[in-house]
Amino acid sequence: MTDRRQFLKLVRWTPMRFTAGLVSTLLLALPATAADVPTAPNGIQLIRGWEDWKVVAPSYRPDKDHVRVILGNDKAIEAMKAGTRPFPDGTILAKVAWTIRKHESFPAAVEPDKFVQVEFMIKDAKKYADTVGWGFARFVGPTLKPYGEGKSFAQECVGCHVPVAANDFVFTSLAPRPR
Amino acid sequence: MTDRRQFLKLVRWTPMRFTAGLVSTLLLALPATAADVPTAPNGIQLIRGWEDWKVVAPSYRPDKDHVRVILGNDKAIEAMKAGTRPFPDGTILAKVAWTIRKHESFPAAVEPDKFVQVEFMIKDAKKYADTVGWGFARFVGPTLKPYGEGKSFAQECVGCHVPVAANDFVFTSLAPRPR
C-alpha cells in the first residue's frame, strides 16, 4: 500500500515538476527581451555598461545641487582628443548626475548622495536628422524611468543644446590633461 | 681672404653641429628612462594611464574651487563594488582635480578649467606599512611636479586621512549606480 501510494505520488507530481523545471530553464536561457530594457519615447533604449566608459569631464550644477560626470565611449574619447567636429557616427556620450551631500568625515568636500539620472547623446547624422544628428534619451532615478511624453520630447533637449551648435551641440569639453 | 675665412668657419663648426645633431637623434631614439618619470620623495613614480580608469565618483570642493573625479584601477573598482575592506594589495585610486569656471554658453553649469593635480593611493600593506598600508603621491600642475620635501611628506597625507580610518583610510565611496 505504501509502495502504491508512493508510486501514485510520483506519477502525479513528476510531470508537473519536470514541466516547471523545464520552463524555468528555458526562461533563464532566453536573452533579455526588449520589454526589459527601459526605452525612451523616441525608441532609444537604455545603454548598459556606461559605468565602464572613460571620463570626459566632471561637472557641478549649483542650480540643481548636482555633481555630474560626463563619460564617453571609445569613439567619443578619440573625437574629443582629436577635436573632431562634427562627431563621427557611433559617438555616444553619457551624462550621469547625483544629488550632493557634505562628506560625513570631511564636510569641506561635496560628494554624490543619490543617483538622479543618466542621459545619452548618440550620434547618427542620418538616423537622428530630425534632432540635429543626435539621439537624445534620459533615464531617471534608480528605476531608470524613461523621460518624456511622446517622441517630440527630444526637441526639448535640442532647444537647450542650441547655444553650443558650433560644437556639434555638445556642451562638454575634454577636461585638460597634463602632458 | 673672405673664402678662406668662410672655409675655416665651416671646418670649425661642422663637427660640433654634427655631434650635436647625432646626440639629439640618439636621445630621441632612447626609450623614456626612470629619470623622465616624475617621482615623489617617497619613491613613488607617476602612474600613467589613469585617464582610462573607471570612475569611482566625482566630487566638488567649494573651499578650493575645484571639481574632481576619483578613478580606480580594476582592483579598486572590484573592491568598491564588493565593499571589500581593507582594500586588497594592488588597489590604486587616482584623484584628479581641476579649477572651475562657468560654462561659456551655459553659466549655470560649472566645468573644469585648468588641471591642478593628480594624487595616487597605492595599496600595499607591507611595502607601505609606515603610511597605514598606502603609498601616497601627488603630482602638481601641467608639468606634474612631485609634491613634498623629503620622504616624511606622506605623513601629512596620512594625517588628513585618519578620520576615515574605519574605511581603510579612503574618503571616496562608489557613487550610487542604478540597478
Q: Per-10-residue mean pLDDT for chain B, 179 residues long?
A: 51 49 48 74 96 98 98 98 98 98 97 98 98 98 96 93 97 94
pLDDT the model gives residue A155: 95
List, in order, residues 6 or more apart from B156 with CB less than 8 Å away: B148
Whether the Cβ atoms of residue B70 and residue B172 lie closer than 8 Å to each other: yes
Q: CA dihedral in degrees (A24, A29, A32, A36; nearest 10)?
A: 0
pLDDT mean across residues, chain B:
88
Residue B109 is nearest to which of A55, A61, A111, comparing CB atoms?
Answer: A61
Mean pLDDT of A132-158: 96
Three-class SS of residue B69? strand
Confidence of residue A6 (pLDDT cuts 50, 70, 90): low
pLDDT the model gives residue B36: 86
Distance from CA of A152 to the nearest CA of B (A): 23
Q: Which residues of A touch B144 (CB under 8 A)?
A: 178-179
Backbone angles phi, psi at B90, to 5 degrees: 100, -15
**Which residues of B fall below an 8 Å CB-CB distance to A?**
51-52, 54-55, 57-63, 67-69, 71, 96, 98, 100, 103, 105-106, 108-115, 118, 139, 141-144, 163-164, 171-173, 175-179
Distance from CA of A37 to the nearest CA of B (A): 12
Q: Do B109 and A60 touch (CB under 8 A)?
A: yes
pLDDT mean across residues, chain A:
88
| Residues present in chain A in total | 179
Whether the Cβ atoms of residue A168 and residue A79 lie closer than 8 Å to each other: no
Whether the Cβ atoms of residue B174 and residue B80 lie closer than 8 Å to each other: yes
Nearest CA in chain B to A95: B58
Among candidate residues A155, A170, A171, A159, the one with its CA nearest the CA of residue A87:
A170
d(CA B65, CA A105): 19
Nearest CA in chain B to A111: B59
Residue A103 is nearest to which of B144, B171, B179, comparing CB atoms?
Answer: B171
Mean pLDDT of A19-29: 49
Q: Is residue A82 pLDDT above 80, yes or no?
A: yes
List, in order, residues 6 or more apart from B145 with CB less than 8 Å away: B38, B139
Where does A50-167 sit in CATH, by number? 3.50.70.20
Q: Do A59 and B179 touch (CB under 8 A)?
A: no
Q: Which residues of B touch A111 (CB under 8 A)?
A: 57, 59, 172-173, 175
The phi-psi region of residue B55 (left if phi > 0; otherwise alpha if psi is between -120 and 50; otherwise beta) is beta
pLDDT the model gives residue A36: 85
Helix spans in chain B (H): 2-29, 74-82, 153-161
Angle at A60 between CA B135 and CA B75, to 5 degrees: 30
Encode pLDDT of A101-137 as tens digits: 999 999 999 999 999 999 999 999 999 999 999 999 9
Cβ contacts below 8 Å, chain A against chain B, sum to 132
Whether the Cβ atoms of residue B68 and residue A58 lie closer than 8 Å to each other: yes
Mean pLDDT of A129-158: 96
Residue B114 is nearest to which of A68, A115, A176, comparing CB atoms?
Answer: A176
Whether the Cβ atoms of residue B141 and residue B115 lie closer than 8 Å to each other: yes
Omega within 30 of 0 (cis) for the link into A86: yes
**Which residues of A fall below an 8 Å CB-CB distance to B?**
51-52, 54-55, 57-63, 67-69, 71, 96, 98, 100, 103, 105-106, 108-115, 118, 139, 141-144, 163-164, 171-173, 175-179
Whether the Cβ atoms of residue A74 and residue A91 lie closer than 8 Å to each other: no
Place of cell 519536470: A18
| Residues present in chain B in total | 179
- Among B105, B114, B117, B179, which would you mutate to test the A interface (most chain A Cβ atoms within 10 Å of its Cβ)? B105
Three-class SS of residue A56? strand
Q: Do A108 and B59 touch (CB under 8 A)?
A: no
